Chains A and B, each alone.
Chain A
Amino acid sequence: MKKIKFLILGLLVSFILIQFIKPDKFETYTAINENSEYNKLLTSVPDSIELIIKNSCYDCHSNQTNLQWFDKIIPINFVVDSHIKEGRKALNFSNFDSLNSKQVSAKLFYSLNKALSGEMPLPSYTLAHSKSKITNKELQQIKSYLLSISERKLTDSIQIVKNSIEYYQLLDKKIKQQVKPTLNGIEYIPDYQEWKAVSTTDRFDNRSMRVIYANDVAVKAIETGKINPWPNGTVFAKAAWAQQIDNNEIIRLGNFIQVEYMIKDTEKYASTDSWGWARWRGDELKPYGSDALFVNECITCHKPVEKYDYVFTAPLNLNVLNSSK
């Protein structure tokens, strides 16, 4: 009996002592009182919207972390620490004032989509922090706000002239330029416009239009109804242009923004969800990113559509009527 008492006491003392082990810089997280005023981070966003974001996101995605008592207990503190570090690295609302309005809007749409897919806030986080769950009413509030800031506006005449100049320059370009491979080593694939298109997208969130082209392997997969998973050799090219809104309020293609590729190869790209990810931007077709880690951005964004083999596009079924009657 005495032995058991000693054992319990020993365990208790050990438990108290190990509480002094903390992750590096754990104390530096700004501990804010839940009931106290917080510093407004999103100056262009209404308070009511920021409050929802603050309650559900700021603990890991801002410098205003509100640690609960149980967050500080070992070993939970190490999990919390890694969540905060990763969270801030991926998206930090404390840095929003350095972004322009387009970037703020893009990040808010991105964040909302993460919430709509159920990926964020992390279910493990809301399990312990039930107040951080975003309700359907709150999601609706954010949607309404984002719709209000993404209203379509007429393109100014200077931009229309610029688009026209670009059109003539690109149409006259006889010699194809040398395009550098992406930083993850993917070579540019020209002539994708000769492929069949599997869909188009009106991205009113960032005022762009996209055509999604698919190579013969992908089209064959569509014809045979085997697109989940897509077969090896599938290549999608997604070209994006800015929306140009004329006086008659018809939206046409404006300046070229970028082209992105998804290349399916289960062996070669095993470490990146079986897809090779590539993006070239602007008329110079500059490879995207500062290093090969840019693919993490692609993978994170496509995670919610894992069930569709990471492909957002719901392709048109090209099989139903494929030849002359």
Chain B
Amino acid sequence: MKNILNENVLIISFGLLFLLLGCNQSSENNFNESASIGKTDSLLVNPLLEKVITVTINPKRNTMSTLYGNDIAWNYISSHSDSNYPKGSKLYEVTWFQQSDNVWFGANIPEKILKVECVIYTGLETSSYELYKGYPLKRVVNIDKKYQERIKEIASQRFAVVP
């Protein structure tokens, strides 16, 4: 009886030790959560899942932007130097504040999202513009009347060419 008890104590002890070691081995995920789209953000699609067209940095404002496009937009701009995006193209310019990279002094990475701008081509030379800002991101109803200029700026960006 005593032996069985000792045996059980031994098994439980090893089990606990194993669990403890197991816990120590599990490592934390290193997601950049603050720069991601959150559950409470009022976006219809997650632009971060689209393909990258190009990136820009505005050092004065301490921001960095990535222009994403859906397949129609991406396929067009990756082989054209003009910005005559075809019908069905969707562009998403996501702008983040920058933060210092805590694993590399000399680098900045995205922090929280400042705004998301969507340009949707509903027809030839017809496009709509949506702006999302705030925490959580919400569609801005009263957008600047000069938004057509902003569409031009967003659409005029060149593709990030590689060999």
Which B residues are in CB contact (< 8 Å) with A239? 160, 162
Pick out which of these stretches binds chain A: B1-9, B11-19, B59-67, B142-150.
B59-67
B32 within 8 A of A: yes
Interface residues contributed by chain A, number (CB under 8 Å): 69
B129 within 8 A of A: no
A53 within 8 A of B: no
Main secondary structure of the interface of B (DSSP, over half): loop
Min CB–CB distance A259 → chain B (angstroms): 7
Taking CB atoms and an 8 Å cut-off, the chain A residues in 230-252 that contact chain B are: 239, 241, 243, 249-252
Are A228 and B108 also in contact (CB < 8 A) when A318-B48, A320-B39 are? no
B128 within 8 A of A: no
Which B residues are in CB contact (< 8 Å) with A252? 54, 56, 157-158
Taking CB atoms and an 8 Å cut-off, the chain A residues in 158-195 that contact chain B are: 166-168, 170-171, 173, 177, 193-194
B122 within 8 A of A: no
CB-based contact A228/B27 at 8 Å: yes
Q: Mark B129-163, 1 if CB is under 8 A from A, else 0.
A: 00000000000000000000000000001111111
Which A residues are in CB contact (< 8 Å) with B108? 201-202, 204
CB-based contact A324/B159 at 8 Å: no
Min CB–CB distance B22 → chain A (angstroms): 15
A43 within 8 A of B: no
Which A residues are in CB contact (< 8 Å) with B10? none
Instruction: Report B's interface with A, CB cutoff 8 A.
Output: 27-33, 35-39, 41, 43-46, 48-49, 51-52, 54-60, 64, 66, 78-81, 98, 101, 103-110, 157-163
List of 4 A-B pairs having minimum Cβ-Cβ separation, nearest first: A205-B106, A170-B161, A251-B57, A317-B36
Known: A113-B105, A171-B81, A199-B32. 8 other contacts (CB 8 A): A109-B106, A170-B162, A171-B78, A193-B51, A200-B109, A201-B108, A283-B163, A317-B36
